Amino acid sequence: MSRTIAALLLCLGFLTGCGRRPAEQKTQAGHVDAAQHDAFFLWAGVKAPEVLAKAKMIYLLDGEVRASRAAGFVPLRPAVPHVRHAEVWLVVRLERLDWEEPVWRRVLAELDRWQAAGNRLAGLQLDFDARTRGLDRYAAFLAEARRRLPRRYKLSITGLMDWSAGGDPAALAALGSVVDDVVLQTYQGRRTVPGYEAYLRSLARLPFPYRLGLVEGGEWRAPPELARDPHFRGYVVASLAGNAAIASIARWA
């Protein structure tokens, strides 16, 4: 009799699991399901997935300022996007802060081109891995960027989770005073940073609003206190679907 009952319970458990929706299984497995979000980041060379059709905000990488070229902006997109259904951020990835005048002029011209094309352009996002011990220098660069940006464009940056744990309070305050949007990255490449839970415990130290950048399919278990943090503004998911040109997003124009 005991074996029969055990078998019935096993079958019941199996059927219950099979009855869950895929999204629920993803959540319970602790992985990022892009379909459950509405803000996304797309690198160049990544095909725009269908889930972006319901996006409310999209960060699109446009080009880079590389360590080897202080005077050059390296474009990574073949054409200006045409996105009507979502707010768009033009993203520039940078490896150096000593920009020369041609770089500033090119970035500002790119913003105007994107806006003239009819995009709902929020502004400029700078993607830079600023070291926690060098935030004062980064804050000075961002102040210069804000001075040069027309007021119609907002300024966004990416950041590291370590900022909250070891960042100088004065430098963090200076940084927060000039930016409108901060996305702290919880991943490197295609994987969530190991031990990310420890960094999350210090997020309350940040003196400015922030979003958390997640990687599609990556590990993620949000701590309960995150939803109660008044500075938390939600998530941005880095989409890794496909390898085709990012220009395919134009089909939603």
Number of domains in the chain: 2
Q: Are residues 55 and 142 in the same domain?
A: yes
Is the pLDDT assigned to residue 151 strictly greater than 80? yes
Does residue 40 sit in the same domain as residue 72? yes
Asked if 39 and 63 sit in the same domain, the reply is yes
The answer on 195 and 144 residing in a single domain is yes
Q: Do 98 and 150 lie in a common domain?
A: yes
Which burial class, exposed, middle or buried, applies to 216 when counting CB atoms under 10 A from its CB (0-12, 13-18, 19+)? buried
Least confident of 6-10, 125-129, 132-136, 223-227: 6-10
Indicate whether 134 and 186 sit together in one domain: yes
The per-residue pLDDT for 224 is 87
Which region among 6-15, 39-48, 55-64, 169-178 has the lowest average model confidence (pLDDT)? 6-15
Whether 118 and 11 map to the same domain: the answer is no
The answer on 197 and 114 residing in a single domain is: yes
Q: What is the mean pLDDT of residues 131-141?
A: 92
Torsion of CA 234, 180, 203, 39, to 10 degrees: 20
Asked whether residue 48 falls in the same domain as residue 8, the answer is no
Task: Tell me the residue range of the domain where 24 lies.
Answer: 1-30
Measured N-to-C along each axis, helices 135-148 and 169-176 cross at an angle, to the nearest 10 degrees, of 10
Examine the domain organization and report whether 86 and 36 are in the same domain. Answer: yes
Q: Mean pLDDT, to the nearest integer, of 20-44? A: 69
Read off the pTM: 0.83
Same domain, 2 and 103: no
Asked if 253 and 83 touch (Cβ cutoff 8 Å), the reply is yes
CA distance 239 to 108: 26
Question: 26 with 59, same domain?
Answer: no
